[in-house]
Structure 1
Amino acid sequence: PAPDAAPAFAGSTLELAELDDGPHAGPAPTPKAAAAPQAPDSWSLVEEGDAPTDAAEGAAAFGIHKVSAADYLAPEGTGGEDDSPVHPGLSLELVALEEAIAPQAYEPGDTSRPEPDGGLGRLVVLGAGREGTASVCAFLAGLPAGLPVTVLHTQHVEDGALDALLARLAEYSALPVRRAAPGLRVRAGEVLVVPAGGQVQLRRDGSLDVQTSTSPSFGQAPSIDASFTMAANVFGRDALAILFAGRSTDAVGGCQAIHDRGGRVWVETAEEHFADMVSAVAAERLSHHAGTPQELAARLVEELSTENQR
């Protein structure tokens, strides 16, 4: 080569020539990109003449069969129409989305509290002192016949005075009034009165036992505390205690038991000289509602009526 020739690596690129090229051979030609193969316009996945002429025939060729909803839901087998759970007249219907999600008119059903196994669903326990007879009579006078609840009344009475009390209450009550006795089957819609020397044990199935009272001997018999505590233990939140005004201090422990087990306590509003029993319960913050005997009866009737309409 000539002495003044530029070095081979002086340029920005290096081109290699074929071995047989001479020193004056030109640059190598740029190869042309191969053309992408193209299918002819008449090309298809099936051979000519094998294509189905009908859409149904084409679906059948791929194992697709059209069946009705009744045939699809029918069990496999050779049984007749009587063996099929699909009854004549059943059909599938397509509806518009707007119609399917449109709000429907509410139709209330029967959601009233059922009586478990024919027994008692709830219990109302009344408590009153000797001077509370008039208040109890006014309360019972506001209850209609057939009220769907059992009423158990405990009032301080002397020996031999229970018959007179039963007769007095029956004059004002539209519900039947009975003395609580051993072996008695209790029903909803009646008033039971605890005897002077007894303590009642009432169960959910309506069975009733009467035992000798263990209340103190200072004249508070039968014990309101004992009746209310029994109601709390057996009926829990389904127990409602209604306490009428009186000079006694009985019923505070029983109202506490009702309150602690989820039941409710209502009290009669009373004048100052009759407020001993009610004031003791209010001081412990155990009462949920207060009113006159007529107001208490009206509230009870309203609550039971509302529950039966739900």
Structure 2
Amino acid sequence: MQPSAARSDAYEVVALASSAGGINGLLTLLGGLDADLPVPVLVVQHLDPRHRTVIAEVLGRRTKLSVKLAEDHEHVRPGHVYLAPPDRHLLVRPGGRLALTDSELVHFVRPSADLLFESVAGAYGSRAIACVLTGTGRDGAMGVDAVKSRGGTVIVQDPATAEFRGMPDAALGTGTVDFVLPLDEIAAVISGLVRTERQ
């Protein structure tokens, strides 16, 4: 599937969401991106808040990008991956400044992909890419709708290649998805999209 409208400006952000099975999915996707990626990557992965997380270290060993837990008021930079800390919602404001909140759970989860995607839609409009990977539940579906309504691009992992297809199926159910791809093809498509308008 192709984006529904021709784009006249460059992408400025990629937002990823995953839950059950997501660590493997993120390892594959982020591992396929080059260090000179011209945009930041924002990630919501549902994690158990009762345990200290080592997700940044795990992902950082498998990608050329710089990976870290997001910090409140931090300004995003190209080629960097910002992970929502356990039990904190991750949002981005216009101008690329991050915000962390502990507001109420959304669809029983915090961090919420829906809140991240909705903030990305508001801050970046048509310059945003939202991507939903493996996971249970419906988190992310409302958010991809918001991204698409602002002219952004939506990518969903083919449910047939997902360890858990709940989140990909829910996103597909919105009817707002531009690309449905096997996990191992998503990085190449993202790389192509974010570089096209810069050539």
TM range (shorter): 0.7 to 0.9
Q: TM-score, normalised by structure 1?
A: 0.57
Measured against aligned partners, the alpha-carbon deviations of 1:239-286 in whole angstroms (never above 9, x if no partner) come to: 110100222211111111111111111001133872111111212212
- Give the one of 79, 94, 100 matched to 1:210: 100
Which residues of 2 match residues 41-52 of structure 1 at below 5 A? none
Question: Does the 8 Å contact 1:196/1:222 carry over to 2?
Answer: yes
Task: Give runs of ≥4 in structure 1 deviating > 3 Å.
Answer: none
Deviation at 1:133, TM superposition (A): 1.0
Determine which structure has greater relative contact order: mean sequence separation of CA pairs < 8 Å that are 6+ residues apart, divided by chain length.
2
| 1:262 match | 151
| 2:136 match | 247
| 1:198 match | 88
Q: TM-score, normalised by structure 2?
A: 0.87
| 2:125 match | 236
Which residues of 2 match residues 144-155 of structure 1 at below 5 A? 144-155=34-45
Aligned residues with identical type, % of pairs: 28
Return the letter of the residue paired with 2:151.
G
The answer for unaligned runs of 5 or more in structure 2 is: 1-7
Which whole-Å CA distance do the structure 1 matches of 2:81 and 2:180 have between them? Answer: 22
Deviation at 1:162, TM superposition (A): 5.7
| 1:37 match | none
Which residues of 2 match residues 1-310 of structure 1 at below 5 A? 113=10, 122-161=12-51, 163-216=53-106, 218=108, 220-271=109-160, 274-309=164-199
| Alignment length (residue pairs) | 191
Which whole-Å CA distance do the structure 1 matches of 2:163 and 2:32 have between them? Answer: 25
The answer for unaligned runs of 5 or more in structure 1 is: 1-110, 114-120
Which whole-Å CA distance do the structure 2 matches of 1:207 and 1:144 have between them? Answer: 23
Alpha carbons of structure 1 residues 308 and 223: separation in structure 2 relative to 1, 3 Å: same
Deviation at 1:159, TM superposition (A): 1.0
SS at match of 1:210: strand
Alpha carbons of structure 1 residues 112 and 261: separation in structure 2 relative to 1, 3 Å: closer
Greater fraction of residues in strand: 2
